Amino acid sequence: MKIAMLGTGYVGLVTGTCFADSGNDVTCVDIDQSKIEKLSQGQIPIYEPGLAEMVIRNASAGRLHFTTCLDEAVRGAALVYLAVGTPSAADGSADLTALWGAVDQLAPHLGPAAIVVIKSTVPVGTNAQVTERLRQKTGRACDVASNPEFLKEGAAINDFMFPDRVVAGVRRPEVGKVLRDLYAPFLRTDNPFLVMSPESAEMTKYVANALLSTKISFINEMANLCERMEADINDVRRGIGHDQRIGFAFLFPGVGYGGSCFPKDVRALATMARQCGIEPRMMDAVEAVNNGQKLTLVNKIHAHFDQQLEGRTIAVWGASFKPRTDDIREAPALVLIDKLLEAGARVHVHDPVALDNVREVYGERLLYGSHPMDVLVGADALAINTEWGEFRNPDFAEMRRRMASPVIFDGRNLYDPRNMAAAGFTYYSIGRKTVDPASDAR
């Protein structure tokens, strides 16, 4: 099947590449000439495990193409996917500028039997608006489906190849059959292909992300309460997670969620609710808790140093919003870095893959280390923001030798407090009692 993928961001590139890997002829389109040239040379603009190899393999086989010529890609395509960005506007709503631009550009080249598929996350009702806009532009009725993505950064290829479900919002059964056939290679284990209205499909994406965000904010608020009540959030998490009605997924306390999806989708859902005359109290609370949680390490660091951070050196491990990605959009680490710099601290940063993106934001205001141990030299404290695997079992004796003082602020609860006490570290974590060897000795 010939497919045009408009947008080579995270979703478009992963989706287009995976479709090509299942035997389709896919052309990915982007207005960024530099990005297209790099992709054509096998250079991937994002970090996603396994993606580079898959892009190169399918491009070499002639199934995956990259171009800036939208008309060539759309002409003759059976499916035209819209996978352009929909960032947050100033009022919290989704900014659909790129989407409408793509719709207007594709309309003159759209074949009469072609199906337009919206992969971008868009407000409820956008499918109907795109359908009407295409009717006006082409002078005929056009099929527009909604096919939201549920990819996790760092595991996107596996999520696409082995989806727990595929959601298709269609107005005609025939369109649903085309999409079902397209996804058939990925649903061989009988995971469901869910057909519904476009409006329900659009809403499903927002509700899924909002609920996951809610679980994160909930466990973080409970973690903060545990600290005050001398309870251990890890014990509490185990105590509730074995309840099958609750489960363990997304119940890991930390420094808040970030990335390209959860923050903007929670805001967009709240905006949609207000536009319908409904006060989104839960979504407002979820966002407020998350914004506050991003300050957790900041507050702990300030308290430890009696508000005196001027001239202190703080090492930071992890800048991406989660492991296995270089995405730093709305990452909690950036909030921490900003606040430390404002307080006059020197900040040393290490991240396995995101340092180039961090450098684009901060330039030479930070010291960058290619190895975790590099940034510890002379550090008054270490703050951990991202649970990269390489941070889980460090050489604590070597860390103590390099640091000016053995203090760790762990925003992801990577270590056992008992081990940290034995290693001689003052250790702050989330929702657990602080380890202070000096105080404990007394």
| Signed CA dihedral, 145, 151, 153, 159: sign only | negative
The pLDDT of residue 440: 60
Look up the CATH superfamily of 296-441: NAD(P)-binding Rossmann-like Domain (3.40.50.720)
Phi-psi region of 398 (alpha: psi -120 to 50; beta: other; left: phi over 0): alpha
Amino acid present at 255: V
CATH of domain 206-293: 1.10.1040.10
Say which CATH class 2-196 falls into. alpha beta
Domains 206-293 and 296-441 agree in fold: no
- Find out whether 11 and 119 touch, Cβ atoms under 8 Å: yes
Where in the sequence numbering do the catalytic residues fall? Answer: 261
As a whole number of angstroms, the distance between CA 73 and CA 106 comes to: 9
Each residue's pLDDT expressed in tens, for the chain with a length of 442 residues: 999 999 999 999 999 999 999 999 999 999 999 999 999 999 999 999 999 999 999 999 999 999 999 999 999 999 999 999 999 999 999 999 999 999 999 999 999 999 999 999 999 999 999 999 999 999 999 999 999 999 999 999 999 999 999 999 999 999 999 999 999 999 998 899 999 999 999 999 999 999 999 999 999 999 999 999 999 999 999 999 999 999 999 999 999 999 999 999 999 999 999 999 999 999 999 999 999 999 999 999 999 999 999 999 999 999 999 999 999 999 999 999 999 999 999 999 999 999 999 999 999 999 999 999 999 999 999 999 999 999 999 999 999 999 999 999 999 999 999 999 999 999 999 999 999 987 765 4
Q: Where are the domains of the chain?
A: 2-196, 206-293, 296-441
The pLDDT of residue 437: 86
- For the whole model, what pTM was predicted? 0.94
Task: Name residue, tokens 């307080």.
Answer: 343
The pLDDT of residue 438: 75
The pLDDT of residue 295: 98
DSSP assignment letter at 3: E
Report the number of secondary-structure helices (H) and strands (E) in the chain: 18, 14
Neighbours of 46 (CB within 10 A): 18
